[in-house]
Amino acid sequence: MSKRKLDAKAFAQQKRHRRQWITFLRMCRYGVNNFSRNAWLTIAATAIMTITLLVVFVTLSARNVLLDTVAVIRDKVDMSIYVKTDTSAEDVKKIETGLRALKSSVRDVTYVSPSEGRDDFAQANAGDAGTLNALNEATNEIPGTFRIKPVDINKTDELRHFVATDPTVKANLDPGHAPTFAGDRRTAIENIGRWVSFAERAGLIASIVFIAISSLIVFNTIRMAIFNRRDEIQMMKLIGADRSFIRGPFIVEAIVYGVIAAVLATSLGVGLLYASKGTLLNYQIAVAGTLNLITVYIAFVLLGMIALGAIIGIISSLLATRRYLKI
């Protein structure tokens, strides 16, 4: 192939790329102009999409906050094994070694001797004169206590088996104090776990409902825009405009809805988290980790919200144009 033909081919490709770029810019300009043509429809579509994205943001944030709260509470929970006050140091060592060997169930073990337990109880009730007098007059000793941090508070079968079968433990168990397996705190953790599951399901359902409503409103908004500009669209058809050029402005318009809604929803969501931070911390809800995570990765959070809003807008617009722009 001659150099002249190669140059002509390269020039034609360059011209075609330039024409495609100009067409793309025109579609974007028309789409942005369409966004401001019908103020009420635009406000309605943007508002509903903002609410939709805000529900998604709050759902994901609430789930993370609840999981962090459960993790914090689980970290504070321990179980206790009570042994007789006269348990020998050798037996204490054997029991502690056996507990530490339960790697899949036990994270840490601390032994509190009867004298240490008495001192801890007295310190915890230093302001209660009646309790301190009763402690001083009491003849029964506080038992020795093995405080155990479990790996998973809901998985203590191995630990229960050890307590029930180990001969050293069985010989030294305090008859007046049964081993505890987290007690009321375990119940609280299980309740929070159930609330996490419920919040996940409720948030998922709410997100799906609002996404459906938002998509329907954007669909109707685009359909109304097509109807209002049917003469203009017909003229574009007559002069040879292809489907992509006719659809383009409507898709851009829907993407603009999504982008603006994403910025608004992210701003509102972060603002709500910061505004409720003090109240949540007063109730010992671990919100700080979620706030720090969002603050550090705010750019990625915003991009994710924009992507979700744009996807909702694009799908709604494509459905509308497919149905009402058949050539």
Q: How far is CA 219 from the centre of its chain?
A: 29
pLDDT of residue 134: 53
- Write the CB contacts of 26 (distance below 8 Å, at least 6 apart in sequence): 245
Phi then psi for residue 285, to 5 deg, are -95, 125
For residue 84, the SS3 value is: coil
pLDDT of residue 233: 67
pLDDT of residue 210: 79
Distance CA 115, CA 121 (A): 10
pLDDT of residue 83: 92
As a whole number of Å, the end-to-end CA separation of the chain is: 41
pLDDT of residue 19: 67
Distance CA 49, CA 92 (A): 63
Q: DSSP character for 85?
A: T
pLDDT of residue 247: 76
- Of 63, 59, 48, give the one whose Cα is nearest residue 264: 48
Reading the chain (327 residues) residue by residue, the pLDDT tens digits are 455 555 556 655 666 667 666 666 666 676 666 666 667 777 877 888 888 888 889 888 888 887 788 777 777 777 888 899 889 999 999 999 999 999 888 888 999 888 887 776 667 666 666 655 655 555 556 788 998 888 877 777 888 889 889 999 999 998 888 887 655 556 665 666 677 677 667 777 877 887 788 777 777 777 776 776 666 667 766 766 677 777 777 788 788 888 889 999 999 999 999 999 888 888 888 888 899 999 999 999 999 999 988 888 888 877 777 766 664
Query: pLDDT tens-digit profile of 61-82?
Result: 888 887 788 777 777 777 888 8
Query: pLDDT tens-digit profile of 193-220?
Result: 677 677 667 777 877 887 788 777 777 7
Other beta carbons within 10 Å of 46: 23
Residues 192/67, Cβ–Cβ less than 8 Å: no
Using the structure block, give the residue that is written with the tokens 């996940």: 200
Give one word for 182, left, alpha or beta, with left for phi > 0 and alpha for psi -120 to 50: left
Using the structure block, give the residue that is written with the tokens 């508002």: 47
pLDDT of residue 264: 94
- Domains annotated for the chain, with CATH where assigned, are 27-72+189-324 (no CATH), 78-181 (3.30.70.3040)
